[in-house]
């Protein structure tokens, strides 16, 4: 499968961003890195909206959130329960849209937007297709260099999955040109989504709770006629947490060590996404099978606590097969 050629269009330097950006951050038991995340978001966006899960559970976490809000001017919404990533992001989306945001920047609590992110997105919009609904930043480990042409990153970046027609997909290991259009999907953290696209496609799926929320929404955007475009010069530092790189047969495999509950959601939501979009986007089918198979293999061979995780993964697969997601 041949990859589509990356865009080579250049845009004027110093292009102002055409609209208001609202940064949306969901905090769940945050560590001290939250302050840097919110501060960087405030430097990129016109407004920052922060949602804290489990407010009141841990005084130290509450204090971290309060400090981040006080130092950045972010708005704060809370819930004393963990309502799930999708539901929390939906509350922030509604808040930001009501306040007049034109673009919504999604950030994980362990992501730090680099200072040139707004300018990179502004330049990208001048060269991107007019039906672009999502611009995706590159998520890199802190300290990695190499945003521009001719600069090499000091660590491998996640590959991009592209599909121009929705029938076939291919993997692009590295962005060579300024833009890479026709993404099949995009990581949530560092994605800039237009308000017009969100109003057209509606909210995220609360019933997904956490995993595959971004994959399902990306497919919904594509099916509504919006393009997903990766931006080489848009960088977000993203700490990968418990992920370890394991050498296998000359390759480096990322092992996440997610707990059993996350494995259940990953399996169920993968199949639910397939059932929702697989007929309309055939490229999703083989890609999903590949992800499910590689995840199960990594758990079985490389991860700690593999027994409970594999049981949860199998249970999630069964749920995804036997129960349909709401339309």
Owner of token pair 């009501």 = 98
How high is the pLDDT of residue 257? 76
pLDDT at 78 over 90: yes
Beta strands in the chain (DSSP E): 21-27, 47-52, 75-78, 103-107, 111-113, 132-140, 160-162, 170-172, 179-180, 191-194, 227-238, 244-248, 251-255
Cβ atoms 310, 296 nearer than 8 A: yes
Q: How far apart are CA 80 and CA 88, in angstroms?
A: 12
- Return the higher-pLDDT residue of 326 and 91: 91
Taking 90 as the threshold, does the pLDDT of residue 59 lie above it?
A: yes
The two structure tokens encoding residue 299: 């758990």
User: What's the N-to-C CA distance of the chain in angstroms?
Assistant: 32
pLDDT in tens, 138-182: 988 776 554 444 344 444 567 899 999 999 999 998 888 999 999
Global confidence as pTM: 0.89
Rounded mean pLDDT of 57-61?
97
For the ranges 13-17, 106-110, 252-256, the lowest mean pLDDT is seen at 252-256
Quickly list DSSP for 102-113. SEEEEE-TTEEE
> Are the C-beta atoms of 309 and 266 separated by less than 8 Å?
no
Return the higher-pLDDT residue of 145 and 305.
305
């Amino acid at each position: 499968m041949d990859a589509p050629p990356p865009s080579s269009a250049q845009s004027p330097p110093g292009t102002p961003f055409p609209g208001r950006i609202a940064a949306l951050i969901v905090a769940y038991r945050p560590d001290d890195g939250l302050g840097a995340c919110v501060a960087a978001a405030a430097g990129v966006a016109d407004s920052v909206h922060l949602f804290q899960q489990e407010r009141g559970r841990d005084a130290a976490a509450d204090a971290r959130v309060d400090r981040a809000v006080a130092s950045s001017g972010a708005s704060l919404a809370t819930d004393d329960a963990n309502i799930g990533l999708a539901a929390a992001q939906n509350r922030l989306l509604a808040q930001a849209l009501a306040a007049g945001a034109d673009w919504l920047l999604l950030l994980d609590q362990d992501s730090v937007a680099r200072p040139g992110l707004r300018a990179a997105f502004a330049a990208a919009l001048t060269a991107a297709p007019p039906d672009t609904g999502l611009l995706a930043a590159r998520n890199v480990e802190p300290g990695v260099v190499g945003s521009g042409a001719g600069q090499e990153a000091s660590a491998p970046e996640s590959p991009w999955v592209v599909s121009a027609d929705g029938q076939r997909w291919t993997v692009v290991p590295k962005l060579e040109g300024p833009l890479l259009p026709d993404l099949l999907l995009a990581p949530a953290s560092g994605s800039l989504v237009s308000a017009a696209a969100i109003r057209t496609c509606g909210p995220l799926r609360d019933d997904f709770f956490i995993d595959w929320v971004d994959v399902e929404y990306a497919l919904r955007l594509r099916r509504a006629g919006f393009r997903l475009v990766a931006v080489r010069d848009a960088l977000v530092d993203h700490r990968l947490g418990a992920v370890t790189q394991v050498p296998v047969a000359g390759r480096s495999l990322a092992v996440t060590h997610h707990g059993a509950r996350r494995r259940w959601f990953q399996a169920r939501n993968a199949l639910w996404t397939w059932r929702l979009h697989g007929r309309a986007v055939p490229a999703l089918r083989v890609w999903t099978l590949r992800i499910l198979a590689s995840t199960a293999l990594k758990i079985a061979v490389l991860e700690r606590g593999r027994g409970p995780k594999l049981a949860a993964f199998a249970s999630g697969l069964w749920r995804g097969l036997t129960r349909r997601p709401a339309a």
